[in-house]
Amino acid sequence: MFSLLLAVIYLAFISLGLPDSLLGSVWPTIYQDFNVPVSYAGAIFMIISAGTIFSSLQSDRLTKSLGTGKVTAVSVLMTAVALFGFSISHSYWMLVLWAIPYGLGAGSVDASLNNYVALHYKSHHMSWLHCMWGVGASIGPYIMSFALVNGQTWNMGYRYISLIQVALTIIIMLSLPLWKKRPVISDIQEAENGKDKVLTLKEIFNIPGAKQLMLMFFCYCALEQTAGLWASSYLVLQHGFDLEVATSYGSLFFIGITVGRAISGFITMKLNDKQMIYLGEGLILIGIILMCLPLGHQVALIGLVTIGLGCAPIYPCIIHSTPSNFGKDKSQAIIGVQMASAYVGNLLMPPLFGIIANHISAIFFPIYLLLILIVMVVMHIKLNNSVSKNILIN
């Protein structure tokens, strides 16, 4: 029964990833169809991120009230409805409207599922489960490319993804009884977790290391989403790729994340979460350097894949280390705010680069990623120092 639940969670993570790369991969086509500036993708992304910030801040309350299974089912259904809305949109403002339920559906499920896995599974499971997110994020652009190559519009690409989400919603709803079986944590600990009060934002931010963690996660997700949203446009504007080719190549970043997380699952059996994060940060730096070097299109593509490989272990290892760094009783609240800070990064940083690309040049894409990486590394070091001090004090 528990193995069947694990399979359902795998599918849920695929569901989370499916739509995440669609907007970035197809935006070079959408902005021309609607005759809007290239930077307008940022506004849609900001609305989605605002919704996820709100819903992720409610995740602690919703999860303790409804349970992870129900939160997941409802959230995936909301995403399916929003994607269907995208598929019938024939103006930019319709996309803006449907971005609202899209964002609200994404936040709670992300925080709730990640905390559930962090509490009940080991680090390699977290990496492999997030690999499934990468599978979804990698498949998404290919489904969209399939629609475009076969003479269909980008709307049909969104419709295909919407139908897949509906099917996943049905599977998750049928699995609801399985979510009550949790053999990893003892009944005593489970009972204690159920009695935990909902922490306020002030209480969360007063926890030592919490601020550094939020800033670190802000930077990581800002980097990942900026790369995912603007990679295709960068390849078109800076390297002269055709739109259809760039749509496929833009998914190389997500392929790098996916392959990296599959490999990371095995490496986590030898390295701890902190070491895995440092390894990822180093690979991102190498990828950015490759993109900066004037060595042609192929090296730029290799750099994009390398950045994806570097991103691979960071997200799951940050999440998985949260209960051990801050305590299981506080993990859902911290992960909820952690997700909110991530979506603030999504809200601000990718649109900011859109403005830079629109008014200055897309050539600054790798430099922009480098600046975000530097701040992330500094926050990671400060977080580790804070956690170490807490361990010594306690």
**pLDDT tens by residue, 31-69:** 888 888 877 887 887 788 788 888 877 777 777 777 888
Q: What is the mean pLDDT of residues 373-379?
A: 95
> What is the phi/psi pair of residue 259, to 5°?
-65, -40
CATH number at 2-176+206-393? 1.20.1250.20
Q: Residue 369: is its pLDDT beyond 90?
A: yes
The pLDDT, as a whole number, for residue 194 is: 44
* Rounded distance between C-alpha atoms, residue 254 and residue 172, angstroms: 25
Q: Residue 96 burial by CB count (10 A; 0-12/13-18/19+): exposed, middle or buried?
A: middle
Which residue, among 352, 139, 49, 364, has the nearest Cα to 234 in the 3D structure? Answer: 364
**130: its two tokens:** 């997030």
Question: Mean pLDDT for the chain?
Answer: 81
* Rounded distance between C-alpha atoms, residue 56 and residue 112, angstroms: 8
Q: What is the mean pLDDT of residues 132-140?
A: 79
Residue-range domain boundaries for the chain: 2-176+206-393
- Ranking 4-18, 175-189, 253-267 by mean pLDDT, the lowest is 175-189
Alpha-carbon distance values, 66 to 114, 192, 195, 284, 353 (Å): 16, 17, 14, 38, 38
b/e string for 168-190 if b means 16 or more Cβ within 10 A?
Answer: bbeebeebeebbeebeeeeeeee
Percentage of the chain with pLDDT > 70? Answer: 90
Classify residue 185 by its DSSP letter: S
Q: Residue 152: is its pLDDT beyond 60?
A: yes
Dihedral through CA 376, CA 382, CA 384, CA 389, nearest 10? -170
Please report which confidence band the pLDDT of residue 182 belongs to, taking 50, 70 and 90 as the band edges. Answer: low
Q: Residue 183: is its pLDDT beyond 50?
A: no
Residues constituting the chain: 394
The pLDDT, as a whole number, for residue 368 is: 93
The pLDDT, as a whole number, for residue 219 is: 94
The pLDDT, as a whole number, for residue 190 is: 41
- Ranking 26-35, 188-197, 205-214, 235-244 by mean pLDDT, the lowest is 188-197
Decide if 308 contacts 260 (C-beta within 8 A).
Answer: yes
* Rounded distance between C-alpha atoms, residue 349 and residue 359, angstroms: 16
Q: Give tens-digit pLDDT for 306-330.
A: 999 999 899 888 888 888 888 777 7
**331: its two tokens:** 């993990």
Which residue, among 52, 172, 193, 209, has the nearest Cα to 120 in the 3D structure? Answer: 193
Q: Give tens-digit pLDDT for 210-257.
A: 889 999 999 999 999 898 878 777 777 776 666 666 666 666 787 888
Using DSSP's 3-state secondary structure scheme, residue 20 falls into coil
Which residue, among 132, 125, 137, has the nearest Cα to 12 in the 3D structure? Answer: 132
The pLDDT, as a whole number, for residue 246 is: 65
Please report which confidence band the pLDDT of residue 193 belongs to, taking 50, 70 and 90 as the band edges. Answer: very low
Q: What is the mean pLDDT of residues 277-304?
A: 88
* Rounded distance between C-alpha atoms, residue 224 and residue 350, angstroms: 9
- Ranking 257-261, 345-349, 378-382 by mean pLDDT, the lowest is 345-349
- Ranking 66-80, 193-207, 307-321 by mean pLDDT, the lowest is 193-207
* Rounded distance between C-alpha atoms, residue 298 and residue 300, angstroms: 5
| Highest mean pLDDT of the ranges 8-17, 79-88, 135-144, 251-260 | 79-88
The pLDDT, as a whole number, for residue 378 is: 95
**200: its two tokens:** 């306020």
**284: its two tokens:** 């991102």
The pLDDT, as a whole number, for residue 153 is: 86
Please report which confidence band the pLDDT of residue 185 belongs to, taking 50, 70 and 90 as the band edges. Answer: very low
Decide if 157 contacts 144 (C-beta within 8 A).
Answer: yes
Higher confidence at residue 80 or residue 22?
Answer: 80
